[in-house]
Amino acid sequence: MRVARLYGTGDIRVSDEAVPEPGPGERLVRVTAVGICGSDLHWWDQGGIGDAQISHPLVLGHEGAGVIMDGPRRGERVAIDPAIPCGVCRPCRDGYRNLCPRVRFAGHGRTDGAMREFMTWPDELLYPLPDELSDADGAVLEPLGVALHSYDLGHLPLGGTAAVIGCGPIGLLLIQVLRAAGARSVVAADPLAHRREAAAKFGADRVIDPAAGAADTLPEGAESGVDVAFEIAGTNDAVRLAIDAVRPGGRIVLAGIPDDDLTTFSASTARRKGLTMAMVRRMNEAYPRAISMAARGQVDLGPVVTHHFPLTDVAGAFSAANRRAGLKVIVEPFPATG
């Protein structure tokens, strides 16, 4: 089978390897679609993410979908939950499996991800894809799960107001989640014009260039800011805009991953407003909700995908994603047929 491995910064190579053998409780999956995430770009462009650095040639990719090739579920189209928690630590027992300190995560550390033609994965982490969803949709369910988890951490009041700072795929999906949840007003900010245009199409009431400042994030008729501001950009400027945009007593949800593993902001502003901040760690038990919302049309996944690349041109796929010329880039090790 063909496999794409990252050997170092910007050095990703496609080679042939043996098809893996499933272990106990695992299934062999033919991978049909893999999304490139911002965290994948950290690995590709910087050789690591946060305090995790590449230590061996790594198969990237944690946004995946495919077809089960063995066992009683043979032929079933599935979305692949990338996180394998230990199940016995305190966070796992408390229901926070996304915070498991011993989690194995596809395309991170020493756990190979989905940018290969075949992979083995635990059966219980392979979620059936309904006919309404394409394979590419299946890959986008993971970022939708992150958007859902971000929304959960925001505790948006019923009919409340929100700002989304950063309109990449997760930000755009979050806008749709906020609309489905009944947000009264959603303001979106992004420096890229095509992403602002996409935010408007996905349901933002107003879109702004962050250079305009926090005054433009105020909902119509409001004097003191939004109830919740979601930062999905990973920059200090985005964090500062989120803090400026939210009302006193409001909440900030930080989902962006900074390049240098540091986030700085004015403590006095946040303190005077008495803000509550929440940090997003991937997602938590979100796949059933994400699948249901997408299958019922509450969230439209298709327009989030703007580029498709074969596995043989995975370097081109990463270059396109890094340029941020579009939205979600999908790599197709085994393109779906029919």
Q: Is the per-residue pLDDT at 214 higher than 90?
A: no
Level-2 CATH architecture, domain 145-279: 3-Layer(aba) Sandwich (3.40)
Mean pLDDT value across residues 59-71? 96
pLDDT-wise least confident of 249-253, 267-271, 291-295: 267-271
According to the model, what pLDDT value does residue 218 have? Answer: 63
- pLDDT, tens digit, for every residue of 6-50? 999 889 999 999 999 999 999 999 999 999 998 889 888 888 877
Q: Is the per-residue pLDDT at 142 higher than 60?
A: yes
**pLDDT-above-70 percentage for the chain:** 96
Give the C-alpha separation, 330 to 36, whole Å. 6
According to the model, what pLDDT value does residue 266 have? Answer: 87
According to the model, what pLDDT value does residue 262 have? Answer: 87
Q: Which two tokens stand for residue 157?
A: 């009041």
Distances in Å between the Cα of 169 and the Cα atoms of 28, 44, 305 are: 29, 18, 8
CA angle 217, 179, 35 (to 5 degrees): 95
| CB-based contacts of 232, cutoff 8 Å, min separation 6 | 150, 164, 165, 166, 167, 168, 170, 171, 174, 238, 255, 256
Q: Which two tokens stand for residue 250?
A: 């409001």
**pLDDT-above-90 percentage for the chain:** 82
Give, to the nearest 10 degrees, the angle between helix 314-323 and helix 38-46. 110
DSSP element (H, E) containing 206: strand 206-208
Q: Is the per-residue pLDDT at 223 higher than 80?
A: no
Mean pLDDT value across residues 159-179? 97
279 HSE (CA, 13 A, CB side): 6
Question: What residues does CATH 3.90.180.10 cover in the chain?
Answer: 2-133+301-332
Q: Quickly state the pLDDT bin for 336 (edges 50, 70, 90).
A: low
Q: Which two tokens stand for residue 131?
A: 């006919």
Distances in Å between the Cα of 328 and the Cα atoms of 36, 135, 153 are: 7, 14, 24
Q: Is the per-residue pLDDT at 284 higher than 80?
A: yes
Mean pLDDT value across residues 242-270? 92
Quote the mean pLDDT of the chain.
93
SS (H, E, C) 293-306: HHHCCCCCCHHHEE
According to the model, what pLDDT value does residue 47 have? Answer: 80
Q: Is the per-residue pLDDT at 211 higher than 90?
A: no
Distances in Å between the Cα of 253 and the Cα atoms of 129, 258, 267, 333 are: 30, 14, 16, 34
Q: State the pairing for strand pair 63-68/77-80.
A: antiparallel
Question: What residues does CATH 3.40.50.720 cover in the chain?
Answer: 145-279
Q: Is the per-residue pLDDT at 217 higher than 70?
A: no
Q: Are 118 and 31 in contact (CB under 8 A)?
A: yes
Q: Quickly state the pLDDT bin for 73 (edges 50, 70, 90).
A: very high
105 HSE (CA, 13 A, CB side): 18
Mean pLDDT value across residues 165-189? 96
Q: Which fold has domain 2-133+301-332?
A: Quinone Oxidoreductase; Chain A, domain 1 (3.90.180)
Grouping H, G, I as helix, E, B as strand and the rest as coil, residue 263 is coil
According to the model, what pLDDT value does residue 338 have? Answer: 41
